[in-house]
Amino acid sequence: MLGVLRRKAASGASSASVYGKSLYKLKPAVPTPRPCSAAAEEMIHYTRGFGGARTFCHLPFAGRMITLMPKREVVGILQQDVNMQIWSRSFSSSTEGDVVEAVVPFMGESISDGTLATFLKKPGDRVEVDEPIAQVETDKVTIDVNSPEAGVIQKFIAKEGDTVEPGTKVAIISRSGEGATHVAPSDDKASERAPPSPTPAEEKKENPTPKVETTPTVGKPKGSPAPPPKPSATEPQLPPKDRERRVPMTRLRKRVATRLKDSQNTFALLTTFNEVDMTNLMKLRSDYKDAFFEKHGVKLGLMSGFVKAAISALQRQPIVNAVIDGDDIIYRDYVDISIAVGTPKGLVVPVLRNAERMNFAEVEKEINTLAKKANDGTISIDEMAGGTFTISNGGVYGSLLSTPIINPPQSAILGMHSIVNRPMVVGGEILPRPMMYIALTYDHRLIDGREAVFFLRRIKDVVEDPRRLLLDV
């Protein structure tokens, strides 16, 4: 029959009518072809590599009929007609154009994979375009997997806890909502765990009637083992295992642990301390906070004062802004300040780019924006990459004193702490003053104690007298 079809096509007859009639005669079960008002150009639409859909083709001919034929037969027709354009598109469902797949998006240059942390939707839920349906946790941030189209989730392909890469299929979404049913996760797990109930015949077979056997009674041996000794009151009592919980570490927590341990193993860490009288900076904030907010639309905090003080100290001691690279020292003529932010999922360190060009208002706005993104989990990889110096403010949690750890590949980190009123000698009198301890941890391989002390002393001078920034003294 295929040879007959080829001969008819080669004789110059209309390919549409020949194949339409032939196939209609051979397969009467096929629905009656419908007329098609196609353009003058003929177009073939076929699929690739999807099981039973391998020979599924659409042939809309101008003024002709739409019919079905194997792809290998169509190729012979196309070779005889030059006024024809081929267009192919692969799909993963027998229902053309109805099913789309949600895949893991690109996660950043330095991130190759992540862990599928949680699903935000369930099978059967309706989603809109770009609505998050799952979250992927990486070493640095949490990334949303969004729905590419509006529709109903048919099923999830991946499972929570799976390691996924960019392009990994996560869910199948139906535009029309066909084939999607609500599934309760707890019911699925219960049905998986519960074995099928056996039939009465199987129960009788598995549990035969036990035979009664008479066995001679054996007397209790004289040398029976003694009961185990009771633990003494002095022995430590370990807690029972049922009161412990074991949970896997998140990728972010594992990444933080690895980096901090690498910092301890690589750097020659040394910390120097000083204390700062916060009276003048707090007075400056109190006097101008209303006018500052009215003009710039952001509150004046203490963090911007320390950022400006750190910039001034880094410019006076450029070795603190440098880093060791092999046998070389890289001096960086720009200042990117990393601000450590603690979030419920772990520690993230967004970066203030070119902080030396910012004024107080720009610093406060950028800190507020980055901190909000970090807590919402919407901060990007680019906003945390780089950084030449880090400021960590443990004072917001009430820390009085600490020794912060350097954030690689930087060479130093400034630690701020809580403000406490303490008696201080001022002008020969003992007065209560709001004092803060500050700490500088630095890489002693690169930075000597002299530069570290001068650096911390400069921060103390600028915070205690902010007018130095105006006069550059």
Cα→Cα distances 29→22, 23, 33, 176, 464, Å: 13, 10, 11, 27, 91
Distance between CA atoms of 259 and 248, rounded to whole angstroms?
18
Per the CB < 8 A criterion, the answer to whether 60 and 44 are in contact is no
* Average pLDDT in the chain: 77
Q: pTM of the predicted model, to two decimals?
A: 0.60
Distance of alpha carbon 254 from its chain centroid, rounded? 14
What stretches of 177-327 adopt beta strand conformation (E)?
269-277, 323-325
pLDDT greater at residue 73 or residue 230:
230
Q: State yes or no: pLDDT of 374 exceeds 70.
A: yes
Which pair of tokens denotes residue 339?
């601000």
Highest mean pLDDT among 76-85, 130-139, 245-254, 393-402: 393-402
Q: State yes or no: pLDDT of 272 exceeds 70.
A: yes
Per the CB < 8 A criterion, the answer to whether 437 and 420 are in contact is no
- Residues annotated catalytic, as ranges: 444, 448
What pLDDT, on the 0 to 100 scale, is given for residue 161?
A: 86
Please, which residues bridge with residue 351 across strands?
A: 338
Which pair of tokens denotes residue 386?
């780089």
Over residues 258-272, the mean pLDDT reads 92
Please, which residues bridge with residue 435 across strands?
A: 277, 420
How many Cβ atoms from other residues are within 10 Å of residue 410's Cβ?
24
Phi and psi of 246, rounded to 5°?
A: -115, 120
pLDDT single digits (tens) 176-223: 876 655 544 444 444 444 455 555 554 544 555 555 455 555 554 555
Phi and psi of 312, rounded to 5°?
A: -60, -40
Query: Pairing state of beta strands 389-393 and 351-352?
Result: unpaired
Q: State yes or no: pLDDT of 300 exceeds 70.
A: yes
